[in-house]
Structure 1
């Protein structure tokens, strides 16, 4: 993509004037550096998307400081028919938060108040940071059902773009009971916030803001457990893989179990619990399971390198799980590796077969409820070669998710049908939904 879409200057100027009058000049900017910062994410880590960059350029950035002000900003943009791209901390990796049609980037990260801590939930404005919510819940003797590996992301960003995280072994994905309610703004003139609970909230999840802009989110909590960071290492990655099912079956259920080959583990931030040249297993375990986990490691031929108490240690393990180890690998060899999300028993039962599908392939593995999941990293040659491996993985019983694209892929037909009602002008995050996305794909996978 070379010619970036934009909105004509008169509409932009008129919207700026309205936003400044309603919200104040300090939360509205057209500064070139601010526009550039609001127009990028982690897409450069994908060699597929890197070939297509840049994907869009903001023309206005607004940073409301409350849920009410988010609603004001959305209403103003709709009246001026200016596209709206919502943004949290900008930690996405595949262009979902890039303003492909230009217009307004709605940065929600300053609307971050925790509003209520209930017996089994916590409610906050969409810009509240997930780790702050976890700590708030902890002070009340509770914990979040889950939080993302990027613990500093916002709750609105997580539920709009994420799927699961630390805690998913026990509690599944975010649409499986974690998000209990949302407040949403539709892209219609003078829209008022609407409160959606239970099943009615689900169509607004993992939709990248295309079905509505989230202003508040309520998520589930559970009793706080005594978690420990557990770090072990092995001569071979096969030994690590053999423990995915036994670790997932520990009772109480672990909050996280991650494993990597020595090559990937060696790119992680230096840590005495991740010794050089050895395959790594990292887990967040209830203290009641430490003895059994130690026995499992010893029987598999490994060793326990450390057990650490304290939230600072467990969140560090979270930040080195899911896609993060592959990101560290990619940073160590820029442009050389692509990755796929993979799921299935073959990750354990036929590791060699899975890793033989692509050149120099390496699996990052995670224990999960039901079946193991992971990220498969391999040498990048072309998008066509990546696609060619999908059928071979499927033949092994491996489900794949292609992360190198920005279109809504969670119930996309449902999202498109809802957006036709909630966003009749197609102003919400254009390029990310249904037919709109096809306009932006180019050579995209």
Structure 2
């Protein structure tokens, strides 16, 4: 742990004079949080962890001044974007500086198939700008409205659009990253191709991301829709068949009927006696979508443009999937939490039914159809009734050992425990170069040990 008495905040503030700073405890606390409260376990561990000061640079030159001063005074730095993560990625474990990069929001260039953008740009603004020239993002999190593109790269892995374009780390989704080091004379490092993985999903532990280039594809005016079925098994099989047969969708999200109580705005569009598949479907494919649903004994309950949904007071389909399912439930009942599950390939829908039978009312199922490394990969983000830490980890053990699933633990705040399961030596080697004093988001990776820090 960093000894807070060992660094001089006032001297740091003097060195960055003219850059916007907040020291008000309420402002600092607000920017020291993300959505970790989805997990009662993380709430126990992270409540009360706050920074000492919030710094909001207006451009990359100001970021350089902040980085230099922080390194000079050996003050920990936690970079923050929209704060929409779920694992405490932007919660400072050792105080110090909260570096809010949301003013670094320039859309530098939009070209055919790609966009160059500063890391603090809101994803919705970037995607809307791409729409204006007939393109769209390959993927985005369900928190599209408020998440930043740099935060998505640092803490995300996939989301809406992963059905078509794979996970964030797959080839072609991110083409370039510009990183600033945290040292008395900050340097710029440019990453291309596979080297991008050195900072992707690194929780901001190894360099300040300034810019990135993300892939774009042709714009589609997606139809937001849902199909209803008599059983969850049928809903799963329908979604799997839709994906396997190449039906052009941006989202396919099976959600079981017990979620209906959390989606009350939809009323009879998602009743409590039917299981749903929320989807974003290409307009030319709606006929095939409806026909396939009918073949599985189902029916389409609504089909609207995003504007029509807004007029009807309904959220877009992408806010009915991914981790927005957890958010919808927690708005109604705080006793829920969740898991993140990757199923063995090829996917067996019957395994899901056995899991539902095993856990009964302690688990509500929801799945996401995606791709990973070019192959179909099915994920689940089930709601779990919280019965304590021991019960949670017993459930995780059963998913892994009895069912052969991989769990990306949403109740852990370190990179390795949350998903990687092993230390990424390439990221640690890059940290030695980009953060030689070990000041960036300390405590979030077990791969870094205090003896690795430069002492001079």
Matched residues in 1 for 2:408 and 2:104: separation?
32
Determine which of 349, 374, 381 is the counterpart of 1:375.
381
Matched residues in 1 for 2:299 and 2:81: separation?
40
2:94 equivalent to 1:101: yes
Determine which of 414, 425, 434 is the counterpart of 1:422.
434
Residue in 2 aligned with 1:340?
A: 340
Judge conservation of contact 1:234–1:279 (CA < 8 Å) in 2: yes
Equivalent positions of 1:277-292 (< 5 A) are 277=272, 278-292=274-288
Q: Alignment partner of 1:319: what SS?
A: helix
| C-alpha spacing 1:313/1:5, structure 2 compared with 1 (3 Å) | farther
Residue in 2 aligned with 1:270?
A: 265
Q: Which runs of 5+ in 1 are unaligned?
A: 439-445
Residue in 1 aligned with 2:230?
A: 235
Matched residues in 1 for 2:294 and 2:389: separation?
42
Matched residues in 2 for 1:142 and 1:85: separation?
33
Equivalent positions of 1:367-406 (< 5 A) are 367-369=369-371, 370-394=376-400, 395-406=402-413
| C-alpha spacing 1:437/1:368, structure 2 compared with 1 (3 Å) | farther
Judge conservation of contact 2:46–2:91 (CA < 8 Å) in 1: no
Residue in 1 aligned with 2:187?
A: 192
- In the comparison of the two structures, how many residue pairs are matched? 431
Structure 1 residue 276: Cα displacement? 2.7
Judge conservation of contact 2:50–2:91 (CA < 8 Å) in 1: yes
Structure 1 residue 436: Cα displacement? 5.5
- Compute the TM-score of the two structures, normalised by the length of structure 2: 0.88
Residue in 1 aligned with 2:5?
A: 8
Q: Which moved more, 1:302-311 or 1:276-285?
A: 302-311
| C-alpha spacing 1:356/1:391, structure 2 compared with 1 (3 Å) | farther
Matched residues in 2 for 1:419 and 1:175: separation?
19
Judge conservation of contact 2:42–2:413 (CA < 8 Å) in 1: no
Q: Alignment partner of 1:68: what SS?
A: helix
2:85 equivalent to 1:92: yes
Q: Alignment partner of 1:52: what SS?
A: helix
Q: Alignment partner of 1:15: what SS?
A: helix
Residue in 1 aligned with 2:58?
A: 65
Equivalent positions of 1:322-341 (< 5 A) are 322-341=322-341
Residue in 1 aligned with 2:446?
A: 434
Residue in 2 aligned with 1:441?
A: none
Residue in 1 aligned with 2:454?
A: none
Structure 1 residue 435: Cα displacement? 4.8
Q: Alignment partner of 2:10: what SS?
A: helix
Residue in 1 aligned with 2:425?
A: 413
Residue in 2 aligned with 1:318?
A: 318
Matched residues in 1 for 2:265 and 2:245: separation?
28
| C-alpha spacing 1:14/1:347, structure 2 compared with 1 (3 Å) | farther
CA-to-aligned-CA distance 1:86-109 (integer Å, 9 cap, x gap): 000111112111011100000111
CA-to-aligned-CA distance 1:263-301 (integer Å, 9 cap, x gap): 213203612573331322110111121111101111222
Q: Alignment partner of 2:183: what SS?
A: coil
Matched residues in 1 for 2:122 and 2:5: separation?
35
CA-to-aligned-CA distance 1:172-195 (integer Å, 9 cap, x gap): 111112111011011222113222
Judge conservation of contact 1:412–1:434 (CA < 8 Å) in 2: no
Structure 1 residue 356: Cα displacement? 4.0
Structure 1 residue 259: Cα displacement? 1.5
CA-to-aligned-CA distance 1:292-316 (integer Å, 9 cap, x gap): 1101111222221111124675982
Structure 1 residue 249: Cα displacement? 2.8
Q: Alignment partner of 2:29: what SS?
A: helix
Residue in 2 aligned with 1:124?
A: 117
Judge conservation of contact 1:265–1:280 (CA < 8 Å) in 2: no
Judge conservation of contact 1:326–1:339 (CA < 8 Å) in 2: no
Residue in 2 aligned with 1:361?
A: 363
Matched residues in 1 for 2:124 and 2:153: separation?
14
Judge conservation of contact 1:255–1:283 (CA < 8 Å) in 2: yes
Determine which of 177, 181, 185 is the counterpart of 1:182.
177
Judge conservation of contact 2:49–2:95 (CA < 8 Å) in 1: yes
Q: Which moved more, 1:287-296 or 1:353-362?
A: 353-362
Structure 1 residue 384: Cα displacement? 2.2
Q: Which moved more, 1:210-219 or 1:185-194?
A: 185-194
